[in-house]
Chains A and B, each alone.
Chain A
Amino acid sequence: MKNRIRELRTSRGMTQAELAKMVGVRRETIVFLEKGKYNPSLLLAHKIAKTFHLTIEEVFLL
């Protein structure tokens, strides 16, 4: 699944570590998410979308 996490994170001047801390995952998980190698659970997708003040559909693309 493609996503806009890297784009949204960098546009907000956020580091991977900061995003990881905000959504409660390890830094490595953000790395795998940004590379598109890991599809998050609905709960994590919701947390990430909420962090960016967007909906899940706006962050994760099918």
Chain B
Amino acid sequence: MSQSKSTIVPVSVLFVLSIWGCAALYHGGYIPEGKGIFIFAMIIVAGVFAFVRHVWRYKDAREGFAVEDELSTQIRYKAGYYSFITSLYIWAAIFAFHQLIPDVKTMLGGGILLSAIASIGIKAYLTRSYDEE
């Protein structure tokens, strides 16, 4: 319970700050276009996802359920390993096809974003269909 309580505050603050950041950028005259909209959408989705997830965990903890246990730890380690391997392939593909990418900023941002998406996807997949046998 204490872990959930301690994480809900920074997650909430980060979530609110990301919303304020987007609003400040918008009112400051920067209106994202094209890939900028995609990046902002991904930031907002990640923020909302983290916030909702922590609210669920906090609710579970309040009801007396464990927030983390041995299976979730195993899933996290396994997801971390698969995410690392996937990221290596993503970066290899990015460097192999770098002539198709317009600039370095897009290449780095895209690589980090793709790695994050892959990591979230792998963890979600393992959480749903974990099978030790």
The answer to whether A39 touches B69, judged by C-beta atoms less than 8 angstroms apart, is no
The interface bits of chain B over 31-66 (1 if a CB of A lies within 8 angstroms of the residue's CB, else 0) are 000000000000000000000000000001001111
Query: Contacts A26-B60, A28-B127; is A38 near B66 (CB within 8 Å)?
Result: no
Instruction: State the interface size on chain A (CB cutoff 8 A).
Output: 17
Binding site for B on A (CB under 8 A): 17, 20-21, 24-29, 32, 36-41, 44
Chain A-chain B contacts (Cβ-Cβ < 8 Å), number? 42
B63-84 vs A: 1/0 string, CB under 8 Å? 1111111111000000000000
Contacts A32-B130, A37-B132, A39-B132 given; does A25 touch B64 at CB 8 Å? no
A-B contact pairs, 12 of them (CB 8 A): A21-B64, A21-B65, A24-B66, A26-B68, A26-B72, A28-B71, A29-B69, A29-B72, A32-B130, A37-B130, A37-B132, A38-B130
